[in-house]
Amino acid sequence: MLRALGMLELKSIAKGFSAADTMVKTAEVELVIAKPICPGKFIVLIQGGIAAVTASLERGRREYGDFLVDSFLLGNPHDHVFSALKGEYRFQEVEAMGVVETWSVPSALVAADQGAKAAQSDVVKVGLARELGGKAYVLFTGEVAAVQASVEAAVKDSRVKEKLIDTSLIPNPDQKLWESILG
């Protein structure tokens, strides 16, 4: 079964609720997230078959385009993206941590997908603009070379590049940092 993820990020909370309703009524999709985020924006994340997600996204973009901040469609996202969205962080001793910081939630999820597909690193967390001033981020872990390859692949995608704030690569992150991140 093909699975797809699609997201709209809107600059109106009221229109966000309306868009979520419109999108789930357009095609057979599952509503994963529909909630306000900082600073007064709203995200709608759906999943389902590629045709259904595409149809729902197209309608949402068409009807709420004046309020659109960003959007994306991922045709077959990496499993780590789903795990990170569910908060299923797989912590283990790691050699490195990579961070990709963006101005929008959709671009961070694209970064997570592109980075996970590029190398043998793990996506352990995706920060979705809650208490982040509208920014978003993704954390990769693994061997130094794999994490570096994931970060580089993530920022090459044009959907990420245009919303990119910064990246970092941290060799041998301290246990106290992990406790703070995952706690």
Look at residue 167 in the predicted model and tell me its pLDDT. Answer: 97
Q: Helices then strands (H, E): number in the chain?
A: 7, 8
Proportion of the chain above pLDDT 70, given as a percent: 93
Of the ranges 52-66, 114-128, 162-176, the best mean pLDDT one: 52-66
Residue 25 has pLDDT above 70, yes or no: yes
Stretch 132-151: mean pLDDT: 90
Confidence of residue 138 (pLDDT cuts 50, 70, 90): very high
Its CATH architecture, for the domain 4-74, is: 2-Layer Sandwich (3.30)
Residue type, 26: T
Task: Report the C-alpha gap between 84 and 129 in whole angstroms.
Answer: 14
Q: Which pLDDT value is given to residue 183?
A: 66
By the 8 A CB rule, do 98 and 149 touch? no
Q: What percent of the chain has pLDDT over 90?
A: 64
4-74 and 79-182 share one fold = yes
Structure-model confidence comparison of residues 31 and 181, the more confident one: 31
Domain parsing of the chain, residue ranges: 4-74, 79-182
Is the pLDDT at 131 greater than 70? The verdict is no
- Measured between its terminal Cα atoms, the distance across the chain in Å is 35
Higher-scoring residue by pLDDT: 160, 132: 160
Mean pLDDT over 116-128 rounds to 87
Q: Domain 79-182 is of which CATH architecture?
A: 2-Layer Sandwich (3.30)
pLDDT bin (cut points 50, 70, 90) of residue 89 is low
Q: Which of 43-57, 138-152, 169-183 has the lowest mean pLDDT?
A: 169-183
Q: At what angle do helices 105-118 and 79-86 cross, to 10 degrees?
A: 130
Q: Specify the pLDDT at position 42.
A: 94
**Across 47-60, average pLDDT:** 96
Residue 26: pLDDT above 80?
yes
